Amino acid sequence: MRKEKALIEIRIAGLMQGSHTFDFTCRAEDFMDKGLNNEVFSRDISVHVIAEKTENELTVIIKTATTADFTCDICLAPLQRKLTGEYRIDYLFDTEPDIPESSDEDYRIIDRNAISIDLTEDVRETILLSVPMKVTCTDNPDCRLFVGNTEPDDAPENEKSSWRDSLEKLKKKYR
């Protein structure tokens, strides 16, 4: 758990039952993480948090959005991509005050008397998970590998086989 003041924190003490929304704006350098480098994430990162509180449970949905600067993995042309991510966390309230905040795949247990929840690490992970594994340009004429039609015009129709169709589908998948 972080010792310093949380970057993204929602106050749950006194939060009434029902749905509540919180909006935050931050920058990549605020996270002090090498994975969120300032060259890629040079713009503001908007974070929208929806907290739904019931008597025994608090469900938090984190939505992140930003525009990132990349270079094409093929031709190295500069690109901008809008990145969005969403993450859901279920918290169960426990009445025993000595139980520390624990983490599990399905839910987290927190003290019923907790004042706030630090979402900084969850937001950072949501941003990192929204980054595509491969970034390629789609309509950039400078990208030499994908300029126009790459198939020769004089190829007979019967030569176009299933493996070429599969290759075309694969090519479109990574654009």
What length does the chain have? 175
Query: pLDDT tens for residues 28-57?
Result: 888 888 778 778 888 999 999 999 999 889
Helix (H) or strand (E) holding 163: helix 162-173
Q: What is the pLDDT of residue 25?
A: 93
The backbone region for 38, taken as left when phi is positive above 0, alpha when psi lies in -120 to 50, beta otherwise, is: alpha
Distance (Å, whole) CA 94 – CA 110: 6
What is the percent of the chain with per-residue pLDDT over 70, rounded to a whole number?
Answer: 75
What is the percent of the chain with per-residue pLDDT over 90, rounded to a whole number?
Answer: 32
Greatest CA separation found in the chain? 77
Residue 159's pLDDT band (cuts 50, 70, 90): low
Q: What is the pLDDT of residue 93?
A: 87
Query: pLDDT tens for residues 115-136?
Result: 999 999 999 999 999 998 888 8
Give the HSE-up count for residue 168: Cα atoms under 13 Å, Cβ half-sphere.
9
**DSSP reduced 3-state for 23:** strand
Given a cut of 80, is residue 69 above it in pLDDT? yes
Distance (Å, whole) CA 24 – CA 26: 7
Distance (Å, whole) CA 136 – CA 175: 5
Mean pLDDT, rounded, for 5-10: 83
Residue among 123, 124, 118, 119 at smallest CA distance from 33: 124
Q: What is the pLDDT of residue 146?
A: 47
User: Quick one: tokens of 173?
Assistant: 């998948």
Query: pLDDT tens for residues 11-25?
Result: 988 889 999 999 999
Q: What is the pLDDT of residue 105?
A: 60
Q: What is the pLDDT of residue 147?
A: 44
Residue identified by tokens 């005050």 is 97
Q: What is the pLDDT of residue 114?
A: 87
**DSSP reduced 3-state for 3:** coil
The two beta strands, 18-26 and 78-94, are: unpaired
Q: What is the pLDDT of residue 40?
A: 86
The two beta strands, 78-94 and 108-111, are: parallel
Stated pTM of the model = 0.71
